[in-house]
Amino acid sequence: MNKIKTDICIIGAGSGGLSIAAGAVQMGARVVLLEGHKMGGDCLNYGCVPSKALLAAGKMGLAFGKAKDHVQNAIDTIAPHDSVERFEGLGVQVITEFGSFISPTEVQAGDTVITARRFVIATGSSPFVPPLPGLDTVPYDTNETIFQNRTKPEHLLIVGGGPIGMEMAQAHRRLGCDVTVIEGMKALGKDDPELATIVLENLRAEGIEIAEDAMAKEIRGTKGAIEIEAQDGRVFKGSHLLMAVGRKPNIDRLNLDVAGIEHDRTGVKVGANLRSTNRRVYAVGDVAGGLQFTHVAGYHAGVVIKSMLFGLPSKAKTAHIPWATYTDPELAQVGLTEAQAREQHGGKLEVIRFDFAGNDRLIAEGKAKGLIKLMVVRGRPVGASIAGPSAGELIGFWAMALANNLKMGQIAATVLPYPTVNEVNKRAAGAYFTPRLFENANVKRVVGFVQRFLP
């Protein structure tokens, strides 16, 4: 049995684990990184990269086989950045084995035992597949298998109307498949319903069937002939099945109890400092039980590096974390939705709206359909919801505003090049001041008084 002593041992080489490993080793810490599956984790191999590549292939009008080639090429192009060779070149000791705790201070990976001053659990999440009657006898895909399929589905059934389900629905529809989405509640239900409706109407107009309030009761059939019966009696028929109902934390292999690490079905229990009930052990990203986004794992990496390397107090926050669904049009959110803001701030809330029909660049490109809503309290934004072209890019403007507690006046003062889509943000900020400047009797009286005395 080999034994290693190190400063930091990271379990999992996804976005969070890789960010911590690269940062820590370059600042002088000794780092051991454990990964028993694929470097780059879910994002590179099964999530963000292949899904966006498949969406792009649909927009480009590629044939199904060429679309899958495009997906693989995107993965292969990015993979060297996340590779064992790159991280060993940085000075990280990479062990290609799964890690499991054998004591509060030790992790075993293959025939190696690692003792470390600090451990980081960065094992991510995997598809949650509910125990639906009949599912064990019917062939199905998850996001971990669907990108490898080289045969085009005639009619793809998707159980789950969240971001993964809707992105895959549009990608496959544009690649020539019939698509039906079966959602037990409301599709894109975590987003502002008014903004979600804009996206869903567009998807339906492309020929995607979206069945809401259709809780799956039973699945039956064989490859090429699958049926899903909902609790209300509706039956949906298709040739292939994708399960996209959610995620579960990857904690089964970790043997957390022996290390005194509390956990539940959402993941490792951590405080705002991302520390577990074992003070030597941190958890980041999906496995930490919060927002499940690649960029959150990267953000968590910065939080724990500050604590582990410099001994400084550091806490993770969520109010400034954006997210986006990369359908066409895109859907993005940061901070509070309108409903959340009304509940939290009541009469102090102002909701500012700007329609994409007023953006000259989008008019010129024939894409001027969308909406931005700003939730403002006492002159500061507390949330932004966007549906429309480039919403995932536009939301970054408001993520920065929330992260830095900016005022609407500072945002409105920003000068942007014309004509750009980003003027949507500036025009929305300007709309906050319109009634204060142009519909205010006092302002008009002051201007009139000044004009009488100006030389």
pLDDT in tens, 248-266: 999 999 999 999 999 999 9
The pLDDT of residue 321 = 97
**Does the N-terminal peptide bond of residue 435 adopt cis geometry, omega within 30 degrees of 0?**
no
The pLDDT of residue 247 = 96
The pLDDT of residue 451 = 75
Residue 236 inside a domain? The answer is yes
- Which structure tokens are listed for 83? 């590779």
Q: Examine the domain organization and report whether 143 and 94 are in the same domain.
A: no
Q: CATH no. for residue 434?
A: 3.30.390.30
Residue numbers of the chain with a pLDDT score lower than 70: 437-441, 443-444, 446-447, 449
The pLDDT of residue 452 = 74
- The answer to the question of whether 123 is labelled as a binding residue is yes
Given 310, 332, 352, the domain boundary residue is 310
The pLDDT of residue 450 = 75
- The answer to the question of whether 61 is labelled as a binding residue is no
Instruction: Count how many residues are written for the chain.
Output: 455
- Which structure tokens are listed for 258? 């022996």
Q: How far apart are CA 122 and CA 107, in angstroms?
A: 14
Closest to 121 (Cα-Cα) out of 47, 35, 38: 35
The pLDDT of residue 444 = 66
- The answer to the question of whether 165 is labelled as a binding residue is yes
Closest to 128 (Cα-Cα) out of 247, 241, 250, 290: 247
- The answer to the question of whether 286 is labelled as a binding residue is yes
Residue 347 inside a domain? The answer is yes
Residue 120 inside a domain? The answer is yes
Residue 50 inside a domain? The answer is no
- The answer to the question of whether 160 is labelled as a binding residue is yes
- The answer to the question of whether 166 is labelled as a binding residue is yes
Q: How far apart are CA 56 and CA 59, in angstroms?
A: 5
- The answer to the question of whether 246 is labelled as a binding residue is yes
Q: Which residue has the tokens 């999440």?
A: 125
- Helix axis angle, 391-403 to 423-438, nearest 10°: 60
- The answer to the question of whether 164 is labelled as a binding residue is yes
Q: Examine the domain organization and report whether 306 and 348 are in the same domain.
A: no
Domains of the chain: total: 3
- The answer to the question of whether 302 is labelled as a binding residue is no
- The answer to the question of whether 15 is labelled as a binding residue is no
- The answer to the question of whether 50 is labelled as a binding residue is no
Q: CATH no. for residue 283?
A: 3.50.50.60
Q: Examine the domain organization and report whether 179 and 195 are in the same domain.
A: yes
Domain around 118: 2-39+83-126+248-310
